[in-house]
Structure 1
Amino acid sequence: MKQAIFLLLDEYADWEAAYLSATLNEGREWTVRTISLHDHVTSIGGFKTEVDYRISGHPSFDLLVLIGGNTWDIESDDIFNLVDEAFSKNTPVGAICGAVDYLAKNGFLNHFKHTGNSAYLWQNYENYNPEVEFMEEQAVKDKNLVTANGTAPIEFTELVLQMVNFDTAEEIEKTMYMYRYGFYEYVEKYGNPYL
């Protein structure tokens, strides 16, 4: 069983995790777990979440997902070491919203095509020296990294699923069509999946 670890900080953006975590967790080959600096975190939407693992004692994982929010200006050796471990091992990483800001600030984006909320926010980051300019797109996949802005949870989900070869391209496309356009348009295009 492959394991996806979702890093959640206090005031995390719950909507940014929903499509991806639900899709992965319903798959036969994946399990989803949460990780943080503390045993409990609260989302921007007020969801109180008891996390599965503390960063200091994390298990092995096949995908690291960094969910955005209001507290990614954090200074933490534990978070840095976790992210650095994933990049060093070429483990797939997905980052959205404020989590991409964190990657930029700490120099993790320099060798990847990437996007985020705004390159303007990063102009004073000493460690942000990209080989490829910021791309003004909802989400970008390059090698083992997917980045997205905070308004792109569906695009983020699609590219992460592609990155980890979650399913065939056709099945991923169908799943995303349902998320984007809803059940009735899905039925009109692909038929009723429940019959």
Structure 2
Amino acid sequence: MWGYIEGILNRYQHTSNALFYLQSIDTYNGSSYYIDKVAVIDQNLITASSAGSLLWAKYIMENLKLYSAQTLDAWYHYFSTGQVEYFEKLMASINEENQ
């Protein structure tokens, strides 16, 4: 079930598309933990607004330690800017990790 129904958002820093939406839910009491950013990580809880999906994915990969910081940085910059230089850095970093 959704975190606000179970009370998870009442105990951890989090975000959403809009605080007013969460406040309209009877079981939500986490306004003091709400952070007005596109993505927020608090321990193992990672939340994002609809606009924060890229950063949300980055936080998940960081939390799971799937790639080095260098690879994640290049990945994030490439997908957030589309600049070829970051794609080159991403490929080089992945190649380094696989050796």
TM over 0.5: yes
- CA offsets 1:45-67 (integer angstroms, 9 cap, x no match): xxxxxxxxxxxxxxxxxxxxxxx
* Map 1:1-195 → 2, pairs under 5 A: 80=1, 102-130=2-30, 132-186=32-86, 190=89, 193=92
Q: Could you tell me whether the CA contact under 8 Å between 1:105 and 1:122 is conserved in 2?
A: no
State how far apart, in whole Å, the 2-side matches of 1:126 and 1:183 are: 44
Q: What is the SS of the residue equivalent to 2:51? A: coil
Q: What percentage of aligned pairs have identical amino acids?
A: 23
State how far apart, in whole Å, the 2-side matches of 1:124 and 1:191 are: 42
Number of residue equivalences: 94
State how far apart, in whole Å, the 2-side matches of 1:149 and 1:161 are: 17
Q: Could you tell me whether the CA contact under 8 Å between 1:113 and 1:142 is conserved in 2?
A: yes
Runs of 4+ aligned structure 1 residues displaced above 3 Å come to 190-193
- Name whichever structure is richer in strand by fraction: 1
Once the 2 structures are TM-superposed, how far is the Cα of residue 171 of structure 1 from its aligned partner?
A: 1.4
RMSD: 2.6
Question: Structure 1 residues 182 and 107, CA, compared in 2 at 3 Å: closer, same or farther?
Answer: same
Identify unmatched segments of 5+ residues in structure 2. Answer: 93-99
Question: Structure 1 residues 163 and 192, CA, compared in 2 at 3 Å: closer, same or farther?
Answer: closer
Question: Structure 1 residues 128 and 176, CA, compared in 2 at 3 Å: closer, same or farther?
Answer: same
Q: What is the SS of the residue equivalent to 1:109? A: helix
- Match for 1:152: what amino acid? G
Identify unmatched segments of 5+ residues in structure 1. Answer: 1-79, 81-101
State how far apart, in whole Å, the 2-side matches of 1:187 and 1:166 are: 18
TM-score, length-normalised on structure 1? 0.42
